[in-house]
Amino acid sequence: MTVHPLPTDAFGRTIEQPLLDWANGDKLAYTDTAGQSPAFTTDLVYVCSDQDCLITMGSDPTATDGDDSFLVPANTPLWFAFISGQKISAVRKGASSGSLYIVPAVAVTIS
pTM (whole model) above 0.85: no
- The whole-number pLDDT of residue 99 equals 98
Gap between the Cα atoms of 91 and 4, Å rounded: 38
Q: Are 4 and 87 in contact (CB under 8 A)?
A: no
- Residue 107: pLDDT above 70? no
Q: What is the per-residue pLDDT across 9-60, written as a single tens digit (0 to 9) for each? A: 778 777 677 788 999 999 999 999 999 999 999 988 999 999 999 999 999 9
Q: What is the per-residue pLDDT across 4-15, written as a single tens digit (0 to 9) for each? A: 566 677 787 776
Gap between the Cα atoms of 45 and 41, Å rounded: 10
- The whole-number pLDDT of residue 15 equals 65
- The whole-number pLDDT of residue 108 equals 59
Q: Is 22 helix (H, G, I), strand (E, B) or coil?
A: helix
- For the chain, the straight-line distance linking the first and the last C-alpha, in angstroms and rounded, comes to 21
